[in-house]
Structure 1
Amino acid sequence: MNAYQNIKLWKYILFAFAVVIASGSLFYTNYLVRNIARSERTRAQIWAMSMKQVISADDNDFLPYVFAVRDSSIIPAIVTNEKGEFQYSRGLDSNRTFIPPIPDVVIEKNAPRYDPDYFKAELQTMKSQHEPIKIILPRGYWLIYYKDSALLSQLKIFPYVQLSVIAVFLLLAYTAFNSSRKSEQNQVWVGLAKETAHQLGTPISSLMAWIELIKDKFNAEEDPLVAEMENDVKRLEIVADRFSKIGSKPKLEEHFVFDIIEDFVNYFRIRVSNSIDFEVTGDKNLVAGLNIPLFDWVIENLLKNAVNAIEGKGSIKVNIHTNKTKDQILIDIIDTGKGIPRSKFITVFQPGYTTRKRGWGLGLSLTKRIVENYHNGQVFVRDSELGKGTTFRIILKNIRQNG
């Protein structure tokens, strides 16, 4: 298991741990809510019994104690008769509920009045929350509806508010940490790349001098082996130039995409097995803004990936076409290799991911960085089937089309 997969595993473990904490918080809060709800139900039943006692009491000396019990229950409640007609209310907004008229008392002009809409809404809420408590009277019965107290209502939503605040905090913290980590990684990439370019400079210059010496000493100006050696040294120059450009904004120039890719494929094909066939097809007139050393690096990484995926005889085809509706150039690299599982379509571009015993797993990660950050394009696995092959797609902006 590579470093990236280890990090991914730890992310899953931490996420599972967070889910356990969240579930525990919700479970315990729901436990408290159920206990408080049972307590409020008991208080509502006591209040109902006290109401019945007040109505049917014969001993007036006992009434003060009954009133004391009744008034100690502050749960919002509405009492109706069997016909649904209002009889009494408690714990509601005193400015919007009915004040029974008292004889010989003049009602002030701004005194509270009965608000039927408010009353209806409160009664509907109570009916939706709890079954009413029925009290039997000498003539008929009353129904006592009640709703959760403000404390219980707040407690029900508290864990969700709490978890939302924690989630936002963790998201901000993770974003800041991830951004800081990526910035640090970028600095390491840039430093390593520039140091590599610097270290390559001296031996490349020496190799160029040795090749010139061989040409003069052995009169090998036209020797094909020396020519190939010279091509490889030039290739090393290009590689060093690539690394030197990492971290700085490259200059993009207009080039025919087909010609650039065909030139590199012609260089690449003679350096791999003869059992692999190469083909470049498509529109030759598409032009894009390219930095040649970096874009060649992209094609090289994708072709190497395709070669490594082919076990034995196979083929690699590069097809260049356009999406005219979106003004895009589409470059498909199609191989007949072993394929990629769908679950790995995104993972293959992560640093450190590789299926080979030897290798750093940086080729496709660099490819993605060069295409997206430097050429404002896209690169992704368009399609793959195990045992049949894979298609990588590069999308670039189509600057103009000639012909």
Structure 2
Amino acid sequence: MSILHAMIINKDRLYQYEARQRWKVFLFTFAALIAGASMFYTNYLVKSLSQSERTKAEVWAMSTRSIVTMPDVDDQFISFVYAVRDSLSIPAIITNEKGNIIFWRGLDSTKTNIKELQDSADHQLVYDPIYFEKQLARMKRNHAPIDLHLDTGEIWSVYYRDSDALRQLRIFPYLQLSLIAIFLIIAYTVFNSIKKTEQNLVWVGMAKEAAHQLGTPISSLMGWLELVRTKFDAENDSILNEMERDVKRLEIVADRFSKIGSTPTLNSHMVFPVIQDFVQYFRVRTSEKITFQLTGDQTVEAKLNVPLFDWIIENLLKNAVNAIESEGKITVNIIDNIAKEEIFIDISDTGRGIPKSNFDTVFQPGFTTRKRGWGLGLSLTKRMVDYHQGQIFVKESELGKGTTFRIILKSNLRYEPTQV
């Protein structure tokens, strides 16, 4: 790839990134403008309607005062005053100086007139006192009272509460903001999903290209090894045999990368021999100060994709080696949990240990305690364990004494594998 071509690709990716950022800014700005305009206009309407209802309550109070203080006026005027008073649509209550309820308006008729006293001469209507107390307390919290000064010197207080329309209007901005927030969350989720999909496609493409590029030199190395064996008559040379194992290992690595994005094939394998083969390969490529021990049940079987499963064990063993500063021991123990049809694979080391607060964090991409680490090993390991429909977690760890990772696989269980 030419430098000019690479610059064009980078420029195109930068443009796409900037375009996504602009869309995000636009969406958040648009949502903020809608929210701000809605809050401003709704607040204006609430204030106007609240003032209008206050005026209505004052008119109703004055009309009630007129009825009480001017009993001798003509019937036509009284009818007009009653019409004005009855036009009030908001709930209201009038109390005297002692706090007793004198008049009310717009309340629940089933609560204000419960039954009629049978033994009362004037057939007085009985109301629900608890209902009135609750309504009066609510009105007192809503608005300041309107004072009515009577000719007798007595002062009545008029209380009222917001109409249903005004109460709904007060709630409307919050409902609208909730809808806007849901819209933003959905939009953000969609953009993130698109971004992750693009990233996954890029990584899959890079992995397949890396596998393709490795194919030629690996084949060439195999040819050179055969040529060296023939030229120097070294068919059973131990050094060349180990080199051949390394080259075959490269083939396995290339095969892993070539299968990323495809569905792995899982077949039934005995777990012990699979792990044993890799431990033997890994042991000779590690410091002699670190000892390995493989124990446990040798007969259990599980559905495995051997190249991917080797990768799991490789990452965990490398992690254990890195945790051991000088001398130490790595133990792999295989346990058959017959009751739950599960297989436990415990990989323990005598390294520096992991703080308990990091038990879950170690599996997150980018988390590492090494200066030059990428923090992808355990993240990839967890993902590959997921491909096998299994689990992995830190079983136990103590600072300065070591760590045990546990893998749980299903035995004798059929399931559909997912994509790598």
Query: TM-score of the superposition, structure 2-length normalised?
Result: 0.69
Aligned length: 364
What are the within-5 Å matches in structure 2 for residues 58-73 of structure 1? Answer: 60=73
Aligned partner of 1:3 in structure 2 is none
Percent same amino acid among aligned pairs?
A: 58
Give the alignment partner of residue 76 of structure 1, picking from 88, 91, 107: 91
- Looking at structure 1, the residues matched to 49 and 396 of structure 2 have their Cα atoms a distance apart, in angstroms, of 56
Give the alignment partner of residue 378 of structure 1, picking from 374, 391, 407: 391
2:400 paired with 1:391 = no
Aligned partner of 1:215 in structure 2 is 229
Deviations 1:76-113 (A, max 9, x none): 12457899998644335789987xxxxxxxxxxxxxxx
**Structure 2 gap segments, 5+ residues each:** 1-20, 114-124, 414-420
Report the alpha carbon displacement of residue 41 of structure 1 after superposing the two structures with TM: 7.1
Give the alignment partner of residue 68 of structure 2, picking from 48, 52, 55: 55
Q: Decide whether aligned partners of structure 1 residues 148 and 230 sit closer, same or farther in structure 2, where only a CA change above 3 A counts.
A: same
Aligned partner of 1:130 in structure 2 is 139
- Equivalent residues of 2:93, 2:136 under 8 A apart: no
Q: Decide whether aligned partners of structure 1 residues 336 and 135 sit closer, same or farther in structure 2, where only a CA change above 3 A counts.
A: farther
- Equivalent residues of 1:37, 1:148 under 8 A apart: no
Aligned partner of 2:16 in structure 1 is none
Q: Decide whether aligned partners of structure 1 residues 250 and 161 sit closer, same or farther in structure 2, where only a CA change above 3 A counts.
A: same
Report the alpha carbon displacement of residue 151 of structure 1 after superposing the two structures with TM: 3.7
Aligned partner of 1:336 in structure 2 is 350
- Looking at structure 2, the residues matched to 355 and 42 of structure 1 have their Cα atoms a distance apart, in angstroms, of 71
- Looking at structure 1, the residues matched to 176 and 351 of structure 2 have their Cα atoms a distance apart, in angstroms, of 51
Whichever residue aligns with residue 131 of structure 1, its letter is K
Q: Decide whether aligned partners of structure 1 residues 140 and 169 sit closer, same or farther in structure 2, where only a CA change above 3 A counts.
A: same
Q: Decide whether aligned partners of structure 1 residues 76 and 293 sit closer, same or farther in structure 2, where only a CA change above 3 A counts.
A: same
Q: Decide whether aligned partners of structure 1 residues 55 and 158 sit closer, same or farther in structure 2, where only a CA change above 3 A counts.
A: same
Aligned partner of 2:365 in structure 1 is 351
291-300 vs 265-274, which deviates more? 265-274
Give the alignment partner of residue 106 of structure 2, picking from 62, 84, 91: 91
Deviations 1:278-308 (A, max 9, x none): 2223322221100100110111112212222
Aligned partner of 1:101 in structure 2 is none
- Equivalent residues of 2:46, 2:169 under 8 A apart: no
Q: Decide whether aligned partners of structure 1 residues 170 and 81 sit closer, same or farther in structure 2, where only a CA change above 3 A counts.
A: same
127-136 vs 264-273, which deviates more? 127-136
Q: Decide whether aligned partners of structure 1 residues 382 and 227 sit closer, same or farther in structure 2, where only a CA change above 3 A counts.
A: same
Whichever residue aligns with residue 189 of structure 1, its letter is W
Aligned partner of 1:307 in structure 2 is 321
Q: Decide whether aligned partners of structure 1 residues 167 and 233 sit closer, same or farther in structure 2, where only a CA change above 3 A counts.
A: same
Deviations 1:5-36 (A, max 9, x none): xxxxx9xxx9xx99xx8xx9899999989978
What are the within-5 Å matches in structure 2 for residues 244-255 of structure 1? Answer: 244-255=258-269
- Equivalent residues of 2:394, 2:403 under 8 A apart: yes
Whichever residue aligns with residue 91 of structure 1, its letter is G
Report the alpha carbon displacement of residue 340 of structure 1 after superposing the two structures with TM: 3.6
- Looking at structure 1, the residues matched to 148 and 297 of structure 2 have their Cα atoms a distance apart, in angstroms, of 88
Q: Decide whether aligned partners of structure 1 residues 41 and 185 sit closer, same or farther in structure 2, where only a CA change above 3 A counts.
A: same
**Structure 1 gap segments, 5+ residues each:** 1-9, 99-113
Report the alpha carbon displacement of residue 232 of structure 1 after superposing the two structures with TM: 0.9
Local SS of the residue matching 2:269: strand
Whichever residue aligns with residue 192 of structure 1, its letter is M
Report the alpha carbon displacement of residue 53 of structure 1 after superposing the two structures with TM: 4.6
What are the within-5 Å matches in structure 2 for residues 354-373 of structure 1? Answer: 354-372=368-386
What are the within-5 Å matches in structure 2 for residues 9-48 of structure 1? Answer: 44=57, 47-48=60-61
- Equivalent residues of 1:36, 1:152 under 8 A apart: no
- Looking at structure 2, the residues matched to 276 and 44 of structure 1 have their Cα atoms a distance apart, in angstroms, of 89
- Looking at structure 1, the residues matched to 110 and 339 of structure 2 have their Cα atoms a distance apart, in angstroms, of 65
2:246 paired with 1:236 = no
Query: TM-score of the superposition, structure 1-length normalised?
Result: 0.72
Aligned partner of 1:104 in structure 2 is none
Aligned partner of 2:120 in structure 1 is none
- Equivalent residues of 1:96, 1:115 under 8 A apart: no
Report the alpha carbon displacement of residue 218 of structure 1 after superposing the two structures with TM: 2.0
Local SS of the residue matching 1:353: coil
